Structure 1
Amino acid sequence: MCTPADRIHRRLDLLDAGLSRHDIDRAIGLGSLLRLRRGVYADAGTCEPRRRAAQHGGTLACVSAARHLGLWVLSPDDPLHVALRPHGHGHPHDDCTCIEHWDHDENDRFRPPPVHGILRQIFLCRGAEEFFVALESALHARKIGRSGLDWLTKNTSAVAREAIALARRDAESGLESLVRWRLRHLGLTVRTQVRIDTVGRVDLVIGDRLIVEVDGVENHGSAEHRHRDLLRDARAAARGYITLRFDYALVVHDWETVERAIHAHVQRQLHLR
């Protein structure tokens, strides 16, 4: 991730700022300025995704922009999403697989869209699930406030407004958000980040006593983590809780199995005291 100080420049803007053609050529020779294509340059610290977006004629958009901000996204290996101005044009480059978004209304075509604009792109491009996950991430990271939420409410559909109403600031992982979104139609009481004596904080509690823990792809692989999880589950059981634990692959790629397991417990009212 590059810093806010790292920028994309047009040659005309550099000349207007007082640099001469010799200054620009010298900066390129010293490596402090990188030539992306004719008339477009990047500061040396600018990250590769932003450089590629500028090569294409715009700036990061949709899930690519969200990932650059550190928000949760469900598809980390997507092609690059690029925001372009409605009356502009793209510049396909070598090995280009860019996905274009023609809704960029910033005066500077290389300035990233605001967070609420990025979230709307995700909703329109990737659907409600990925929108909800990124929205809860933005809320958790305090990257969107009341004005941004109001803008989204006015500029999206009823499904997006449902997601906005359900979204919380205390979700601590995209998997947790995804589970809550997919369970919403069951009409269950689902609490997040619940603290239980002797156990600690758990991801989700359905009803009174059904704990759902979701383990990210990077977590709980070692024997030490596995032992810690088993210890937490045993302590929870001693306090009358039942724990269901699912990993990334199950939640993302085999949701039917996850939902069946939760539904079976709910049907037998094991989530109630």
Structure 2
Amino acid sequence: MVLPDWALSMFETALIHLHRCEGDESFFASFESAWRMRKLSEAGRLRIRAALPAYARWLVDIARPDADSGLESLVRLRLHILGLLLECQIIVTGVGKVDFLIEGRLIIEIDGKENHDGPSRRHKDLVRDAAASALGLETLRFDYAQVIHDWPAVQAAIVAALARIREHA
């Protein structure tokens, strides 16, 4: 059932129109961001799901409210489409919270400029990566430009790292 625009909140209407105009990826990242910012109630999420075309409803079904950024949401969506099962926003003892963990051995970090820019933040990332390596974990870090403008290279790096990990398991 499609509800008339007057029955939807401003955020709901905007997200539905965003899907129509910009497609799955923009919608998904924005939907998760709105949910994280508590702009969408459970009823609102269900109204959005109902208003989407049937082929797109799965996007609401896999959405989560814990992504630290729209960039992380985008990466999670793309990795989901590849069939990779991710643990998201989990604590790795000795390392701290990581964006994604794949197969218990590969850490994926999505480094937006606001959280990883500058020498002191870079140093903290390097310390965390060394701690992960000491635990037998591999860490791959990608920034905005890589995710947005060179996804094939990001995907190839992740797939290759998983192949190495599986080979040595």
Q: Same fold by TM-score, threshold 0.5 exceeded? A: yes
2:159 corresponds to 1:263 = yes
Tell me the equivalent position of 2:39. Answer: 143
Q: Which moved more, 1:162-171 or 1:145-154?
A: 145-154
Once residues 82 and 5 of structure 2 are traced to their aligned partners in structure 1, the CA distance between those partners, rounded to angstroms, is: 40
- Of residues 203, 211, 218, the one that matches 2:114 is 218
- Higher RCO (C-alpha 8 Å, min separation 6): 2
Deviations 1:208-247 (A, max 9, x none): 1100001113332211111111000001111121100001
Tell me the equivalent position of 2:100. Answer: 204
- Please identify which structure carries the higher helix content: 2
Tell me the equivalent position of 2:86. Answer: 190
Is the CA contact 1:209–1:271 (under 8 Å) kept in the aligned structure 2? no
- Local SS of the residue matching 2:162: helix
Q: Which stretches in structure 2 are left out of the alignment for 5+ residues?
A: none
Tell me the equivalent position of 1:254. Answer: 150
Please report how far the alpha carbon of residue 261 of structure 1 lies from its aligned counterpart in structure 2 after TM superposition: 0.2
Once residues 110 and 79 of structure 2 are traced to their aligned partners in structure 1, the CA distance between those partners, rounded to angstroms, is: 14
Change (3 A) 1:120 1:105: closer
Structure 2 residue identity aligned to 1:166: I
Change (3 A) 1:271 1:159: farther
Once residues 231 and 263 of structure 1 are traced to their aligned partners in structure 2, the CA distance between those partners, rounded to angstroms, is: 25
Once residues 157 and 17 of structure 2 are traced to their aligned partners in structure 1, the CA distance between those partners, rounded to angstroms, is: 33
Q: Which stretches in structure 1 are left out of the alignment for 5+ residues?
A: 1-103, 107-111
Tell me the equivalent position of 1:236. Answer: 132
- Local SS of the residue matching 1:268: helix
Change (3 A) 1:205 1:248: same
Once residues 55 and 167 of structure 2 are traced to their aligned partners in structure 1, the CA distance between those partners, rounded to angstroms, is: 28
**Percent identity among equivalent residues?**
45
Is the CA contact 1:203–1:213 (under 8 Å) kept in the aligned structure 2? yes
Is the CA contact 1:209–1:272 (under 8 Å) kept in the aligned structure 2? no
Is the CA contact 2:105–2:165 (under 8 Å) kept in the aligned structure 1? no
Q: How many residues align?
A: 166
Q: TM-score, normalised by structure 1?
A: 0.57
Please report how far the alpha carbon of residue 152 of structure 1 lies from its aligned counterpart in structure 2 after TM superposition: 1.5
Once residues 157 and 24 of structure 2 are traced to their aligned partners in structure 1, the CA distance between those partners, rounded to angstroms, is: 24
Once residues 56 and 34 of structure 2 are traced to their aligned partners in structure 1, the CA distance between those partners, rounded to angstroms, is: 15
Change (3 A) 1:190 1:214: same
| RMSD between superposed Cα atoms in Å | 2.1
Once residues 30 and 98 of structure 2 are traced to their aligned partners in structure 1, the CA distance between those partners, rounded to angstroms, is: 21
Once residues 271 and 211 of structure 1 are traced to their aligned partners in structure 2, the CA distance between those partners, rounded to angstroms, is: 17
- Local SS of the residue matching 1:201: strand
After TM superposition, the structure 1 = structure 2 runs for residues 147-162 of structure 1, keeping only pairs within 5 Å, are: 147-162=43-58
Change (3 A) 1:271 1:125: farther
Structure 2 residue identity aligned to 1:167: A
- Local SS of the residue matching 1:214: strand
Once residues 171 and 220 of structure 1 are traced to their aligned partners in structure 2, the CA distance between those partners, rounded to angstroms, is: 16
- Local SS of the residue matching 1:212: strand
Once residues 160 and 240 of structure 1 are traced to their aligned partners in structure 2, the CA distance between those partners, rounded to angstroms, is: 38
Please report how far the alpha carbon of residue 189 of structure 1 lies from its aligned counterpart in structure 2 after TM superposition: 1.2
